[in-house]
Amino acid sequence: MKRLAALCAVVWVLFALPAESAAIRVGEIATLTGDYEAYGTAEAAAVAMAVEEINAAGGVLGRPLELILYDCRTLQEETVNVARRLIVEDKVTAVIGPSGSGLCIAAAPVFAERRVPHIATLPTNPLVTVDEGGKTRPYSFRVSFLDPYQGRVMAWFAAKEMNFKKAAILSEARSEYSHDLRGFFIERFKKYGGTIVAVESFNSGASDFRAQLAAIKESEPDVLVYPFMGRALPLAVRQAREMGLAMPIVGGDGYGNFMWEIAGAALGNTYWISHIDRYDPTLKPFFDKYEARTGAECQEFMNAVAAYDCVYWLKDAIERAGTNDPVKVRDALESTKDLKLTHAVLTMDEFHNPKDKDAVILSCDPVQEKALFFKRIRPGDDLLAP
């Protein structure tokens, strides 16, 4: 992980070309350090792999891509700073990443003001691509489904698929992702006839959740809901099991293979919303290439696949635009329809989100130490309705 994190220091050397070259510059913002380090490391490796492949095949419009990567350190202010640097100093055509909703929301005004398209990987908060007034952010795009849908999937799975009646929630305070996912889950779980018996929260950076879990235990839930992500996720799973909370745990798309190192067998009887099925045979070529390039199995597979597909989506948009002019590339991104990517067929809706994208439920197997496919959820009237 440390070796890959060093990408932020060496990627310029790997992909830089002479100043007089006709390269198309592409920016990337990744969380190579901080709470989301594991996610950003996978994204950086996958983006680099995609750029190498495209350049080896002749580039885009007959020109090579030049990748410029910065580490935002999982900090909103740093995301804003490097976004501005990529646009003003490096003069990129577009920017890819990161995955954190709060990070993308913070930088969105920079992309809009400077008229440079931003393609986010896995941020799920609605405000990533629309402002607080509900107006589409003209230069912000993503390849992931949204928290309203994700929260409804979690509630449907808990209430309808698993028949749970009493849910307790542990969430992260002051996290847009956690706050909204919690709210969407609560709204729909109640609609399905469920009862919320406890809602507890913790501050960002916390590593001890025993006080909150003790209160949750007293409420006697039949399912524990974790709408947050990062290192706190496996720590909270492990501590719940240590305190005798053996009921199923249902969470959002924060699952990552890094969690096994921290929680181990405690991950048994946990279920997670996912953007992809890690063991879908159609994805095997991607994971084989990733492992051959990095020398390690792809751990944070959702982030890696999404980031890789973002590069190929941008390639398609530049080719359809016939130029790397940022405004024209933005127009092409907006008009994307039926684009076959590694993990999905992509069509943009009016809010710059993927239209009718499936969700996958993963179930953790403590024997194999893997999150295995459990169920595919297709958008329907019940899940999409407000």
Q: What pLDDT sits at residue 379?
A: 75
State residue 200 phi and psi, 5-degree precision: -120, 155
Q: Are 116 and 95 in contact (CB under 8 A)?
A: yes
pLDDT value, residue 176: 84
Instruction: Please tell me the class of the 147-274+359-384 domain.
Output: alpha beta
The per-residue pLDDT for 118 is 98
15: its two tokens = 């992909």
pLDDT value of position 6: 41
pLDDT of residue 303: 96
Query: 249-251 and 223-226 as β-strands: parallel, antiparallel, unpaired?
Result: parallel
Position 385 scores a pLDDT of 63
In the chain, domain spans:
2-145+280-346, 147-274+359-384
**Same topology for domains 2-145+280-346 and 147-274+359-384, yes or no?**
yes
CA dihedral for 28, 33, 39, 44, sign (positive or negative)? positive
Q: Which two tokens stand for residue 260?
A: 């096994």
Do 182 and 169 form a contact (C-beta atoms < 8 A)? Answer: yes
Judge whether 100 and 177 are in contact, CB under 8 Å: yes
In degrees, rounded to 5, the angle at the alpha carbon of residue 179 between the alpha carbons of residues 176 and 183 is: 135
**What topology is assigned to 2-145+280-346 in CATH?**
Rossmann fold (3.40.50)
Whole-number pLDDT of residue 382: 67
Q: Which of 101, 105, 98 is nearest to 121 (CA)?
A: 98
> Which pLDDT score is estimated for 378?
79
What's the pTM? 0.84
Q: Give the chain's residues under pLDDT 50.
A: 1-20
> Which pLDDT value is given to residue 377?
86
